[in-house]
Amino acid sequence: MTQTSPPDRPGLNGYHDIHDVTANKLRLLTTRNRRDLGHHASCFPAVQAAKAYYSLVSGCRWCASAGHTSWQSSC
């Protein structure tokens, strides 16, 4: 599971959503509009990796629901 996150544009709620590239190929941002967080076995370590860059992080409720913590996630 490879995870990405929008680099500088959080959702309306201020959260950066983590996306599973392998599960969500049709709705992903372009490569220049996302940060590659590397390959992770699950959403939790990807969320932890994203927290090195952003304070508010949540898994996408559709493609990375195991790491979804923000009920208002913009994904």
Report the chain's mean pLDDT, rounded to a whole number: 75
Name the residue with higher pLDDT: 40 or 32. 40
Q: Could you give phi then psi for residue 19, rounded to 5 degrees?
A: -120, 145
This prediction's pTM: 0.72
pLDDT in tens, 4-18: 666 667 777 788 888
The pLDDT score that the predictor gives to residue 18 is 83
What is the domain partition of the chain in residue ranges?
Answer: 2-67
Name the residue with higher pLDDT: 21 or 48. 48
Identify the H or E element spanning 59: strand 57-59
Structure tokens at 26: 């049709």
